[in-house]
Amino acid sequence: MTKSQFDKSDLLQIERRTPPRAAKTLASQAREGHPHGNGTPTTLTLLPAVDRLAEPRMERLKQSPKRVFINNVDSYASKCISKFLSQCALGAPVDAEGEMETEEEEEEGRVGSKQSGEGAFHVVGTVSEEPDEGRAYVLEQYSKLNREELLAKLMSCDVVIYNITQHADQVEEASWAVSALHNEMSHFSKPKMFILVSTVMTWACSKSVDPDDDPFTDEIFWRRRAHPNFKQHTDLEKRVAKMGKTNMKLFSTYVVASGLQYGMGEQTFHFFFKTAWLGREGEIPVFGDGNNIVPTVHINDLASVIQNVIEQRPKPYYLLAVDYSNNTMGDIVKKISSALGPGKIQKKPVEEAFLTKDLSVMEIDSLLVNLRMEGVYLKELLSINWVCESGLVDNIELVVEEYRQTRGLLPIRLCVLGPPAVGKTTVSKQICEHYKLHHITLKETISETILKLEDTVKNAGPDAENEDTAAEAHELLNSLKDSMEQNGGLLDEQLLVKVVRDKLMSNPCRNQGFVLDSFPKTYEQAKELFYSEDHESEDEPSLISSHSKRIMPEFVLCLDASDDFLKNRVMNLPERLVKDHNYEQEHFLRRLARYREKNLEDETVISYFDELDITPMYLEITSSSEPDCLLLMQKIFDTVGQPRNYGPSSQEVEEEQRRKAEERMRREALEDAEQERKEAEEARLRVAHWEEWTKGLEDVRRQEEELLEAQSVPLRSYLIEHVMPTLTQGLMECCTARPQDPVDFLAEYLLKKNPLNH
């Protein structure tokens, strides 16, 4: 068949029904009319070849979803792999160009995206914590299973994936799992596959035999030498490979050595992303000299490799999953710093990395690796739909956006407007404190800009880039100073908008967000401030299409109060605040009148936001009492929602707990001291009362004795005068007579001699 006899539909059929490389070869032969073999025209053997190449794809279209087990699906890597596989559509083709079965499907998405129809994989797995209903990407979650229960779960799966790139304690379980499955091969109802996701740290001490220092490839994996802390990983890789050689049709095993993973929120590089995002450091640290080449792979590219291994079953059982970058650690950190932070890096001794609480020993070892690697089998045998084929540095914007979205680190942008003295600054500061935002005021922004420009001019380096930067800074600095001199300390509107815009476009404001206090003041200022030079659309209204979404406020708070209330508030302010805010009576009244006049115009700042469908939140200030202010702030917090930044770190949590414990101990100590003081005071009072009471008792006793003594005098006198003589005489008589009963004798004697009877 000649080229003229081959129509376009035949070519399209060939290219769609064959893998990309084979399709290109066959289609090329068909177009050129090449003979095949011994002069036989291509058409005689072309269609059978196409049919044979199409057979695996047709089989995939007919097969049912595979049940895939993944360990620790709540960890970073396993979670991302699980999400990727759970979104793969059943029967979707796997090719290098990301082509779909039809042109319509090509427009809908790439391989790995969720399409209509049943998913290709049903993912189940273990979790380190309790199962969570929020993990929709996992069909079943297992927690705290014993070995017997876990083996039963593994036996029910078509593919078992063990990821050991994050937690070294999973090495032992993975070793047990592959051995247990191997021992149960006779009970398999259908073939099974075991995939070990290992790490390039098993290559860390490898030495190249090539004097030109060509990259390490998976073709020479037997030459790898592991880092001392990863020898057990190498032992497990060898065990997995050995288990798969017994009966490859029934139990196939693969080892995928992953580069340092990045993307979708970060894990290994998270320390650098977080440090840059927080903006607390002027320079982002690089541990070591930063010249070590770090093999990396986007986590979704790693998941795509695993998907290809499951579906294509390549002959090599050891594959390197690394992208095609050769970025050094210094390049990576500098790019992260430029995209999220101050743009500067600082090289620190390696030992300082071990003092960083946010880095584990495994992560530190990984960050210090120095390997140039290339996944030959990925290029020759698999068809990967790369997310970041050229690496982290070249795709930093995509990775940063994934980092922000995955971790919910989205900026909160507010604009607070209102008349003078209504309390905009107070409200703005409270919002910034609650949400950890940047408070933007004109005075501070201008001062900060001038200081930075002066510092840039003063510390300019000798290289060309720094000279250009210094020249631009010097020119802008002169423009600012000239404008302020000509306008009585104020900037002209164009420079003012530029200074504020540059501040809003800075990384700290783009990371955390900001509260723009009392600016813009006019419609034109707002239009100029939020204008976007990057995007224009002919189909949309000019205002909507030209605004910058990166700095446009999400919320606009419009505070207001009656003129009488504002005047009374200014009159009651301390003199210092009146001078600081320039609230002298005449000046304040002019500012208030000017504000009211501007808000009566057709085009105001509020109308600008209304045109962009940003509905201002109107808040009427009627009282300065604390309860009313708290209610006002709570209303604002409810409208804005929850914070979108990092919660307190483990160190901050510990410090807060320590502070609370110290505060509690201090409070308890004060309470104990107060209790002791009270007890001592009560004891003192008790002693004083006891002494007083004892003294009173003695006085009462003495008075009673004196009274008794006084009352007993007449009786004593009577007894002495009348009774005692008679009694004495009776006793004497009794002694003389010595009667048998002395008592009766004395009684009769006293009766006879009773003086009363005489």
Residue 463: predicted pLDDT: 61
Contact 73, 170 (CB under 8 A): no
Residue 538: predicted pLDDT: 45
Two structure tokens written together for 614: 């940003």
Contact 129, 198 (CB under 8 A): no
Cα–Cα distances in angstroms (integers) from residue 501 to residues 280, 524, 534, 558, in the given order:
22, 14, 15, 21
C-alpha 564/C-alpha 172 separation (Å) is 76
Residue 489: predicted pLDDT: 87
| Residue 670: strand, helix, or coil | helix
Which homologous superfamily does the CATH classification assign to the domain defined by 63-406? NAD(P)-binding Rossmann-like Domain (3.40.50.720)
Cα–Cα distances in angstroms (integers) from residue 748 to residues 176, 722, 734, in the given order:
122, 17, 11
Give me the half-sphere count of Cα atoms (radius 13 Å) on the Cβ side of residue 213. 4
Give the chain's end-to-end CA distance (angstroms, integer).
Answer: 181
Residue 92: predicted pLDDT: 58
**Phi, psi (degrees; rounded to nearest 5) at 693:** -65, -40
Of 165, 145, 147, the C-alpha closest to 79 is: 165
Contact 617, 639 (CB under 8 A): yes
Instruction: Give the DSSP H/E element, type plus range, for residue 605.
Output: helix 605-611
Of 93, 86, 91, 154, the C-alpha closest to 122 is: 86
Structure letter (DSSP) for residue 89: B
Contact 80, 264 (CB under 8 A): yes
C-alpha 76/C-alpha 166 separation (Å) is 8
Residue 509: predicted pLDDT: 95
- Give me the average pLDDT of each 10-residue run along the chain (758 residues): 40 40 41 39 36 46 82 95 91 44 39 52 93 90 94 96 92 96 94 96 85 81 94 96 93 97 95 94 94 96 96 94 95 96 94 92 95 92 93 96 94 96 95 95 95 88 69 91 90 94 94 96 93 56 62 96 94 87 89 92 93 94 90 95 83 80 90 92 90 88 86 82 84 88 86 72
Q: How many CB atoms lie within 10 A of CB 425?
A: 16
The CATH number corresponding to 650-757 among 3.40.190.10, 1.20.890.10, 3.40.1210.10, 3.40.50.300 equals 1.20.890.10
Instruction: Give the DSSP H/E element, type plus range, for residue 443.
Output: helix 442-458
C-alpha 94/C-alpha 735 separation (Å) is 146
Residue at 284: amino acid letter: I
Instruction: Give the DSSP H/E element, type plus range, for residue 478.
Output: helix 464-486
C-alpha 696/C-alpha 312 separation (Å) is 108
C-alpha 11/C-alpha 542 separation (Å) is 46
Domains 63-406 and 409-640 alike in fold: yes
C-alpha 1/C-alpha 34 separation (Å) is 9
| Residue 637: strand, helix, or coil | helix
C-alpha 400/C-alpha 395 separation (Å) is 9
Cα–Cα distances in angstroms (integers) from residue 701 to residues 461, 566, 595, 687, in the given order:
102, 78, 90, 21
Q: How many CB atoms lie within 10 A of CB 698?
A: 10
The pTM (predicted TM-score) of the whole model is 0.76
**What are the boundaries of each domain within the chain?**
3-61, 63-406, 409-640, 650-757
Residue 612: predicted pLDDT: 92
CATH top-level class for 409-640? Answer: alpha beta
